[in-house]
């Protein structure tokens, strides 16, 4: 895609699959363990880890879709980019929570309430904002500096 002269040269985000799997797998193991303990063992640990893969691994793909497909197609104005990113994180979070609900139901796991699915969007948004704040604090490309 040819960029107009006044648009930023969005660099596609690329990461080796091994690094993605290691990072998101670790996040899923930690989050799944927290879910297992918080549920007072009402959910099995393997099911909890599997459910945690939705926001961890699935969240990575939500972010990639924004960075590599949607962002280059949007106006380059910062407010447009910010609003679109926040919307993608929120809607993506709801979709990931919905997939957690479907997966839990299919595996005979705990019932995930519809209000929890809707809260998933806000939770995913909050997590992304915190992660990007940490990236910005380390001087890396992030949502806050408009580079990541």
Q: Look at residue 64 and tell me if it is in a domain.
A: yes
pLDDT at residue 7, as a whole number: 52
Characterize 27-48 residue by residue with b for buried, 16 or more Cβ atoms within 10 angstroms of its Cβ, and e for exposed.
bbbebbeebbeeeeeebeeebb
Strand, helix or coil at 40?
coil
Identify the residue with better confidence: 146 or 78: 78
Q: Look at residue 10 and tell me if it is in a domain.
A: no
Q: Domain range holding 103?
A: 54-137
23-59 confidence digits (pLDDT tens): 999 999 999 999 999 999 889 999 999 999 999 999 9
Q: Look at residue 67 and tell me if it is in a domain.
A: yes
Using CA atoms, how far apart are residues 132 and 142, in angstroms rounded to an integer? 5
Q: Look at residue 92 and tell me if it is in a domain.
A: yes
The total number of structural domains in the chain stands at 1
> What global pTM score does this model have?
0.88
pLDDT at residue 9, as a whole number: 67
């Amino acid at each position: 895609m040819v960029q107009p002269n006044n648009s930023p040269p969005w660099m596609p985000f690329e990461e080796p699959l091994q690094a993605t799997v290691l990072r998101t797998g670790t996040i899923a193991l930690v989050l799944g363990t927290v879910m297992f303990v918080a549920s007072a063992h009402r959910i099995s640990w393997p099911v909890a880890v599997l459910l945690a893969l939705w926001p961890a691994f699935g969240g990575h793909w939500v972010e990639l879709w924004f960075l590599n497909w949607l962002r280059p197609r949007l106006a380059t104005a910062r407010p447009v980019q910010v609003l679109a990113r926040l919307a993608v994180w929120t809607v993506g979070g709801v979709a990931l929570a919905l997939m957690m609900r479907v997966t839990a139901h299919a595996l005979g796991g705990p019932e995930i309430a519809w209000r929890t699915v809707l809260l998933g969007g806000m939770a995913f948004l909050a997590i992304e904002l915190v992660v990007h704040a940490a990236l910005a604090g380390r001087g890396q490309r992030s949502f806050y500096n408009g580079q990541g």
